[in-house]
Structure formats: structure tokens, C-alpha cells
Amino acid sequence: MKPKVLFNYIVLCFIWGTTWLILKKSLTDGTPPFLGSGIRFFGAGIIFWIYILYKRSWPPFDRISLILYFQFGVLNLAISYGLTYWATQFIYSSLSSIIWAGFPLSVAAFSYFMLPNERLTRKKILSLFLGTMGALLILKEGLNFEGDQIVLGILVVMIAVVVATYPSVYLKRHSTAVSSLHLNAVSQIVAGILLFIVSLIFESDQIMVWSNFNIFALIYLSIFGSLIAWYIYFWLYTHISMSQISYIAFFPPLLATGLGWVFLDEKLSILAIFGGGLVIMGAVLVNFDE
């Protein structure tokens, strides 16, 4: 990678590695999941639009652009992140991040059907097998964790990963159709509005706790977790390969697991760690075809 690309790659991995700790603590301290995620994306979207108005650089609204706005706004952000926020109430932040490490495996499977030059090699088949076994071990071990909705939470995060895959692979096919700025501005506003609506329907009986930490969490997740991280993420699509992009899912879980252990006392069992290791091994192996 070129130095500029590598720098942005490292920054993105660091930001997404720290967001799990902050997300989990904010949920524990009284942030309703759909409202919190809605504020996160709507706030970041507003900042993007302020910049667009300042630059007078209007987003395109042709057919492909509208499809990308819809896919990322609805599938990747509103549904996938909404599900992840909701599920992380019931499971460790480190566990959520480890499950998201399976994103490259999901990308490999979708890419085979959606990208003409992607081949399902023996290494990719092995990586998918390892990831699947790891996911099943994590799911099985979830039965031994304390809490009534642990297994449901694990399943929901797994579904969120799959939901987020299709827009990411589709974007790789049309990475030059719309800029990172415009894709973020439109999709994050759309996601924020949708999540606000969901919050009004399902969280009308929940009260947001406006503690100092929750305010900090909303600012950090909006500015760093959404504004900066997603801008870098979309920018990378025009500079590195799909497999290298999906490799981003490998590093944040390592940081998130360490932070969860130190600050949230999240102690995973040996079997859960082994299952997570299989998922990460699969994520690493799937990129060796590059």
C-alpha cells in the first residue's frame, strides 16, 4: 500500500476497534440502541451536508447512485447497525466485534456470485469452513453465558454481518459512480431518519440518560465512528482491492477484545476464544489469494 492509503487504513482500524467499548458502555449506561444509532448517523450526515453546501458540490441522483444510497442507508447502516446496537445490549462488545470479523468471509461468498473476476478457490472454501465452524462454536458457547438473550444476540449480530455484505460488494462494482462524501451524506441521513422512526415505535417507553459519558459516546461515535471512519472506508474502495477492504474486519476485534477485557471485565471462555480464533483465521486466509 502507498503511505497515505496505509495511514488511513490504520486510522480506520483503530477507530473501529475503540467504538465497540464506547458503544457497549453507552448502552449499559442508558442509551436506547435505535435512538443512539439514529443520533450517530443523523449527526454525521448533517455535518457531511454542511460541507456539501459549503463546497456547492451536489450529489448525483442517477439510477446507480440512488441504488447505492438506498443499499447503504437502509441495509448497511439502518438495518445492520440497528441490529448490532440492539444485540450488543445482551452480549459482550468483544463478542460482537469477533462476529464482525467474519465479514470478509461473507464478502468472499457474495463476491463469487456478484463480481465476475472473483473465483471460489480452495483457500476461500477452507476459510469459509473455518469461519462457519468458529461461528457455530461461538453460538454453542453462547448457551453457557449468563443472560436470557445471549444466543439471540449472537444470532442477530450474525444476521447483521450478512445484511451489510451485499451493499459493500455492490459498491465495489460501482466504486466510481459516487464519491465517498456524497455516499456518506445521503446514506447516513437516510439511516438516521429510519432509525429515529424505529425508535419512536419500539423505544417510546425508554428514556435517554444524558450522562457525561453518553454525550461523549454520541459525539465520538458520530464524529469518529461515522463521519471520519465511513469517509475513509468508502475512500479506500477506489484505492485497494475488495479483499484488502474486507481485511479491515480482522484488526478491530483484536483491539476491541483487549479493551473489553481491561475496561468492561469481559472474560471469554476458552471455547469462545477458540471459535473467535477460527473466524479470524478464516478472515486472514481468505485474503491470501491476493
Cβ neighbours of 60 (radius 10 Å)? 15
**pLDDT tops 70 at residue 77:** yes
Task: Output the pLDDT for position 277.
Answer: 84
Give the pLDDT confidence of 119-142 residue by residue, as tens digits: 767 777 788 788 888 888 887 777
Q: What is the DSSP string of 187-248?
A: HHHHHHHHHHHHHHHH-TT------HHHHHHHHHIIIIIIIIHHHHHHHHTTTS-HHHHHGG
Least confident of 80-84, 85-89, 239-243: 239-243
Task: Output the pLDDT for position 163.
Answer: 95
Instruction: For residues 227-245, give the mean pLDDT.
Output: 80
CA distances for 14 relative to 17, 85, 242, angstroms: 5, 19, 20
Give the residue carrying C-alpha cell 445471549. 150
Task: Output the pLDDT for position 87.
Answer: 96
Instruction: For residues 143-149, give the mean pLDDT.
Output: 71
Amino acid code (one letter) for 201: I
Question: Residue 146 — very low, low, confident or very high, per pLDDT cuts 50/70/90?
Answer: low
Question: Residue 281 — very low, low, confident or very high, per pLDDT cuts 50/70/90?
Answer: confident
Domains of the chain, residue spans: 3-285
User: Model pTM?
Assistant: 0.87
Question: Residue 113 — very low, low, confident or very high, per pLDDT cuts 50/70/90?
Answer: confident
